[in-house]
Amino acid sequence: MKRKGLLSLVLALATILYLGAAPASGPIVIGVIGAVSGSSASLGKAQQQGVELAVAEINAAGGIMGRPVKAVYRDDEADPTKALTAAQELVDREGINFLVGTTNSTPAATVIPFLQDNKIVSITSIATSNTIIDAAKYPYAFRVFIPNGLQANALVANAKQRGYKKIALVADTSALGVDGMAAMVKYSAQYGVKPVAQVTYQSDDADMSPVAQSLKNSGADCALFWTLGADGAKIVKALERIGYIDKLRIYGYTGIGMPNFNELAGPGASRVASLGVKDWAVANSKSQLKGRFLDLYKKIMAKYGAYAPGKRDTNPYHVAAAYDCVMLLKWAIETAGTTDPDAVKAAIETKGSTYQGNFGGSYKFSATDHDGFRPEDCVPVDIADKVNGDLQVLR
């Protein structure tokens, strides 16, 4: 009886250990935080569309390692307090495994430290602040978009290369704007450029006349804008009103290229170019993208329609970036063979450069660099010159 009792105990323990090691069968839950209302709404909508598209595609193909994927969305209205509350709800109530977002840098700065404490792997698809992605400080946070430092470098280098002599810098006073201005100042010094003015303003200001007048007073022949679409458009309109828009060439970081910019800026948009993503812009002589980028663009068009007033108001490369966040997570989970955060993190760090992206092409993740975007993928594009009212054209 003793031998039988001991055998039964061993079998029971073995069963418990086996069941404990068995893979989970419930859904893999991805939280998504972004601004789907307010002045940054088109960013949050684009992120949500990209996640929706990827999740539907993954589930239609059987999920990830046989498990369905569930996305849970929260609108933070670009407010850092609401973003943190949303993150806490997603972790504590929804039991998320991963997170995509946030869309804006200031909310990201509040959310990412909380996610690190809870070992939640997050991938940022739009927010660009240099400080939110730091492999040493925030080991579970990654990004697939163009960080501020890379963008500032490209803006200043482009303006100098084109021969402008009186370069002014413009940014709002948010965390994003402060970060952008600091980066532009840094690279101006590096390239031997002495800005004729550094102009700041409050984000969402109704009257941008002071900004326009400061640019005119400086005698600038080129202005580098660290502004979102609506603010940039208001500055352009103010420059028109004082008769200075035709004397100025404007280059903006990616945020200015939001789809509402053209509508709000009017004819002055022809004086503005922004930074774009090489694989999501077309050459002047062509009318479409190539390869997997074209395939994804067709999916976006089929699901959400062409860009037009009253229809889709989201930028396709913002949609593509969010889609890539989910697909990168899928790839990392399958590479690791588990949803364990440390294993997924290690997969991205050690093998992430082999992942073929649908947004930035290939990435450059490592244990010390969680910013995957490559400098050569960042290019200047004309905002006003578009294909099908949607894709930007390489300059």
Give burial (CB, 10 Å; 0-12/13-18/19+) of 2.
exposed
395: confidence class by pLDDT, cuts 50, 70, 90: low
285: confidence class by pLDDT, cuts 50, 70, 90: low
User: Helix (H, G, I), strand (E, B), or coil: what is residue 60?
Assistant: helix
pLDDT at 360: 84
Phi, psi for 69 (deg, rounded to 5): -110, 135
pLDDT at 244: 98
Answer positive or negative: Cα dihedral of 341, 372, 383, 237: positive
**Residue 71: which H helix or E strand, with range?**
strand 69-75
Q: Would you state the structure tokens that stand for residue 288, as one six-digit string?
A: 């479409």
Task: Compute the mean pLDDT over every residue in the chain, rounded to the nearest whole number.
Answer: 89
**Residue 223: which H helix or E strand, with range?**
strand 222-226
390: confidence class by pLDDT, cuts 50, 70, 90: confident
How many residues are recorded in the chain? Answer: 395
Residue ranges per structural domain of the chain: 28-148+312-377, 150-278+379-394
User: Would you give the distance in Å from CA 151 to the centre of its chain?
Assistant: 13
11: confidence class by pLDDT, cuts 50, 70, 90: very low
54-76 average pLDDT score: 98
Alpha-carbon distance of 327 to 332, in angstroms, equals 9
Alpha-carbon distance of 357 to 143, in angstroms, equals 12
pLDDT at 291: 92
pLDDT at 179: 87
Whether residue 13 has pLDDT greater than 50: no
pLDDT at 45: 96
**Residue 273: which H helix or E strand, with range?**
strand 272-277
User: Helix (H, G, I), strand (E, B), or coil: what is residue 39?
Assistant: coil
Whether residue 9 has pLDDT greater than 80: no
Alpha-carbon distance of 156 to 186, in angstroms, equals 10
Check if 28-148+312-377 and 150-278+379-394 are the same fold: yes
Q: Which amino acid is at 218?
A: S
pLDDT at 315: 86
Q: Would you state the structure tokens that stand for residue 193, as one six-digit string?
A: 């450029």
Residue showing tokens 């792997």: 121
**Between 367 and 352, where is the model more confident?**
367
Q: Would you state the structure tokens that stand for residue 299, as one six-digit string?
A: 């999916």
User: Helix (H, G, I), strand (E, B), or coil: what is residue 72?
Assistant: strand
**Between 364 and 285, where is the model more confident?**
364
**Between 130 and 369, where is the model more confident?**
369
- Rg value, the chain, Cα: 23
Q: Would you state the structure tokens that stand for residue 282, as one six-digit string?
A: 């077309």
DSSP for 275-300, written as a single string: EEEGGGEE-TT-SS--HHHHHHHHHH
Instruction: Indicate left, alpha or beta for 100 from its phi (over 0: left) and psi (-120 to 50: alpha).
Output: beta
Give burial (CB, 10 Å; 0-12/13-18/19+) of 185.
middle
pLDDT at 255: 83
Alpha-carbon distance of 80 to 127, in angstroms, equals 13
Neighbours of 164 (CB within 10 A): 19
292-298 average pLDDT score: 93
Alpha-carbon distance of 241 to 50, in angstroms, equals 38
Phi, psi for 194 (deg, rounded to 5): -105, 105
**Top-tier CATH class for 150-278+379-394:** alpha beta
**Between 348 and 21, where is the model more confident?**
348
Whether residue 20 has pLDDT greater than 70: no
**Between 389 and 102, where is the model more confident?**
102
The per-residue pLDDT for range 316-331, each reduced to its tens digit, is: 989 999 999 999 999 9
Alpha-carbon distance of 210 to 239, in angstroms, equals 10
The pTM assigned to this predicted structure is 0.84
Q: Give CATH superfamily name and number for 28-148+312-377.
A: Response regulator (3.40.50.2300)
User: Would you give the distance in Å from CA 390 to the centre of its chain?
Assistant: 18
Q: Would you state the structure tokens that stand for residue 73, as one six-digit string?
A: 């969305």
- 37-41, 230-234, 377-381: range with lowest mean pLDDT: 377-381
Q: Which amino acid is at 19?
A: L
Whether residue 1 has pLDDT greater than 70: no
